[in-house]
Structure 1
Amino acid sequence: MTFETVLYEVNNGVALITLNRPNVINAINQTLGEELYAAFKRADSDANVRVVVLTGAGRGFCAGQDLSDRVAVDETLSLSDSVRERYNVLVSKMQNMRVPVIAAVNGACAGAGMGFALACDIRFASKNAKFTMAFSKIGLAPDSGTSYTLPRLVGLGKALELAWTGDVFSAEEAHQMGIVNRVFETEELLIKTLEFAERLAVGPTLAYRLTKEAIVQNFDASLPEALEREAQLQAIAGRSSDFREGVLAFSEKRQPNFRGE
């Protein structure tokens, strides 16, 4: 499949997916939504892909929904179908990828663009990145998963503040709130992100997937439920070739050769 609004390449086990509508700060229209889903689906089905990095072309990550792509607003307009068909399926796909997904936020990150960043497992940002929930600025409630992901990162009160005000905040502020894992100089962002991604790509990616499942699903579980889930997931990990290789490499005092299975 040839993409019009997304760039896709794989190197050293890392799929780099780049939103590519730089003239509109990678605002999301129907084509971009469809192609981004297809790109994640391609990465998920490719055994050679062991980490995904999502970034934006040009001076920004993603400005959110392209409002010019909407039909004329009237009192009978319902956005629910658009949210379900464009954002819900895409965010669900991102959250359920079999490999780690890293956002490299290289500039403006607003609205549904912030939803995409939060749907990634971790986020790196350039020093010039700016974030805003933005939805309230045009009279909308949050979508693209932000009402789920944001409070889990910053807490309920702060999530409400950010959503109600739509205030713009910096990469450093995002880092202090726990939204962003690391902040880099603008020219170093993609280099450092890909270096980190390649480090993960040679690791036990099956164990990474199980780790994510444990941490995410145990977030609001009871202690007995969490302990039982850990036991079940450890049983899966214990049957993997990566576990056997890890133990053998430890005993032989060498670096393991993990295959993610």
Structure 2
Amino acid sequence: MSHVRFTTEGRIARIILSRPDRRNALTTAMLEDLEAAAIALVAEPEVRAVILDAEGEDFSVGMDIAEMRRLPQPTVLLRRTAGQGARTMRAIAEIPQPVICAIQGVATGGAAALASACDFRVAASGARIGYGEVKLGINLMWQALGPLMRLVGPAKAKRLVMSGDLVPAETLFQWGFVDELADPGDLSAAALAMAEHYAALPPIAVQMVKRSVNALAAALDPAILHADTDQWLLAAKSADHREAVEAFLEKRAGRFKGD
């Protein structure tokens, strides 16, 4: 069963995370489905704008930790599997049409990374967004550091990633991560209004501008951020990572030794 839905209505397409019973925790299969949906939009000339949103109270709590514990053990295969997040991020960024992410509740870890790959972010008031990887003893991967730093700058990127804290959408609006705030009941309408605004503009010009800005802003990303998967492999084999996961599952404070 796919937990990613793809719909079109007129000029607007929606990619919807649909695993609300697990707070839309992401799996490798969901990332693959997101990548496929993004690639399919290249062949949809009638679609002029895209909304990425989610069912339920939360946008997504990031990668499913239960799946992370079942990842394949041979390093060569683990490295390929771990690279799926970056492939999905790249596919979303390369969607020709403008992409608006609608964020409610919590968006953390990989979910915040996916939001950063979109062109614009509309968040419900009271939403909280963060990058919690450090609390699991691992680095931020998926080549997500580049998009984040371009949105909020180096100091605030460090603050978000190094603390692992969830930050209110209102604060992230001031920092530049969130483009627009909406009342929770109006989030879908606000995202749709933004999508309709861009859908009404000449598509060739809009899409050329998007591609040029993205190419200029992310020109160095592949040269610098390609190693984040290998950094993750190192961190994921550490004793601190194992302790962090056990502490999370046992709902206790971790005891970290730098090993």
TM-score scaled to structure 2, two decimals?
Answer: 0.78
Residue 77 of structure 1 and its aligned partner are, at CA, apart by 6.0
Work out the CA distance in 2 between the residues paired with 1:25 and 1:47: 33
Residue 128 of structure 1 and its aligned partner are, at CA, apart by 2.2
Work out the CA distance in 1 between the residues paired with 2:207 and 2:145: 23
| Identity in percent | 28
Partner residue, 2:80: 81
- Report if the CA contact (8 A) 2:107-2:128 is conserved: yes
Work out the CA distance in 1 between the residues paired with 2:185 and 2:6: 20
Residue 27 of structure 1 and its aligned partner are, at CA, apart by 0.9
Work out the CA distance in 1 between the residues paired with 2:25 and 2:85: 13
Q: Which has the larger radius of gyration?
A: 1
Q: Give the letter aligned to residue 196 of structure 2.
A: E
Which structure 2 segments of 5+ residues have no match?
A: 220-259
Partner residue, 2:200: 202
Partner residue, 1:232: none
- From 188, 191, 195, give the equivalent of 1:190: 188
**1:64-123 CA deviation, whole Å, 9 max, x = no partner?**
111111245899868532221x21211111111111111001221000000100000110
Work out the CA distance in 1 between the residues paired with 2:71 and 2:207: 42
Which structure 1 segments of 5+ residues have no match?
A: 222-261
**1:25-83 CA deviation, whole Å, 9 max, x = no partner?**
11111221121122222222112211110011100111111111124589986853222
Matches within 5 A, 1:122-201: 122-201=120-199
Higher relative contact order at CA 8 Å, sep ≥6: structure 1 or structure 2?
2
Secondary structure of the 2:59 match is strand
- Report if the CA contact (8 A) 1:12-1:198 is conserved: no
Work out the CA distance in 1 between the residues paired with 2:35 and 2:72: 29
Work out the CA distance in 2 between the residues paired with 1:93 and 1:202: 24
Aligned residue pairs total 218
Establish whether residue 91 from structure 1 lines up as the match of residue 93 from structure 2.
no
Q: CA RMSD in A?
A: 2.1
